């Protein structure tokens, strides 16, 4: 296991693939850790040097006191890249990871070679909905929201046909640090990148799971429309986290996109 201390915060990270290959950085979603990318990485690691990490408050990274600002996540991302000697890189994020990726491309676009936004939006949810989520988690832990979150994360087919995997991913959420989870909810509550996302000039692939209830396809499509150099696709048979449900389809879309923009 690999760890880095970035501005006082310990981050857990993993590197897969040849060190000389083009770097691809992955940012995970709320209530998850870097393991959500495992099957996707297994397909792409021969083509890219893939950096995945547990964002602050998640997995084996520090759950420092919050609330977390978008700027905190950007400091972690670029601090980790600097620590590893990575200059420019392709960046992919899902959900809040996609919000972080938008912020990175809008504010530090010179370092981002290509952008993949999965199941995300320039503004996700409302202040009142995130405040309700924070109160529920602080009062009862993430187990208080686990069943409703599973319905939003995964398609009906996945929940019906893959019960053991569903139970495992639910366990991951249930064991998440309540402070880290709630502090990241604050990021989502307080961040509206509508104006900034419209300034992104990085070639962008914007993806939505067909059955996503957290960031429905129409919401994701609206975000894609803000980015002038974007392509929008729907991943069939997927909910909010395509790298779990449809890793091969996600990898194929990303591979084709990277070839189109010359990031090979």
Tell me the mean pLDDT in the region 68-75: 98
Instruction: Enter the pTM of the model.
Output: 0.97
Give percent above pLDDT 90 in the chain: 98
Domain count, the chain: 1
Q: For the segment 28-56, what is each residue's pLDDT rounded down to a tens digit? A: 999 999 999 999 999 998 999 999 999 99
Rg (CA), the chain: 17
Range of the domain at 227: 2-260
What is the reported pLDDT for 264? 87
Closest-CA residue to 202 (of 77, 83, 108): 108
Q: For the segment 187-230, what is each residue's pLDDT rounded down to a tens digit? A: 999 999 999 999 999 999 999 999 999 999 999 999 999 999 99
Q: Any idea what the CATH number is for the domain that residue 40 is in?
A: 3.40.50.1820
DSSP string, 10-42: EEEEEEES-TTSPEEEEE--TT--GGGGHHHHH
């Amino acid at each position: 296991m690999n760890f880095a201390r970035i501005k006082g915060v310990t981050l857990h990270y993993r590197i897969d693939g040849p060190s000389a290959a083009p770097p691809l950085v992955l940012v995970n979603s709320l209530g998850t850790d870097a393991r959500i990318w495992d099957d996707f990485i297994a397909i792409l690691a021969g083509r890219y040097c893939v950096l995945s990490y547990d964002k602050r408050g998640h997995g084996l990274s520090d759950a420092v006191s919050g609330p977390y600002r978008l700027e905190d996540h950007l400091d972690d991302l670029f601090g980790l890249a600097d620590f590893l000697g990575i200059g420019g890189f392709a960046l992919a994020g899902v959900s809040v990871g996609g919000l972080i990726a938008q912020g990175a491309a809008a504010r530090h676009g010179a370092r981002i070679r290509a952008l993949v936004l999965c199941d995300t939006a320039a503004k996700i949810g409302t202040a009142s909905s995130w405040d309700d989520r924070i109160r529920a988690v602080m009062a009862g832990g993430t187990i208080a929201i686990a069943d409703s979150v599973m319905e939003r994360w995964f398609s009906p087919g996945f929940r019906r046909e893959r019960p053991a995997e569903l139970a495992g991913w639910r366990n991951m959420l249930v064991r998440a640090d309540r402070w880290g989870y709630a502090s990241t909810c604050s990021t989502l509550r307080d961040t509206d990148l509508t104006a900034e996302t419209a300034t992104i000039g990085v070639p962008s692939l914007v993806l939505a799971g067909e059955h996503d209830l957290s960031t429905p396809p129409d919401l994701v499509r609206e975000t894609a429309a803000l980015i002038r150099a974007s392509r929008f696709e729907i991943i069939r048979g997927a909910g909010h986290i395509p790298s779990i449900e449809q890793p091969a389809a996600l990898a194929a879309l990303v591979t084709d996109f990277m070839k189109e923009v010359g990031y090979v």
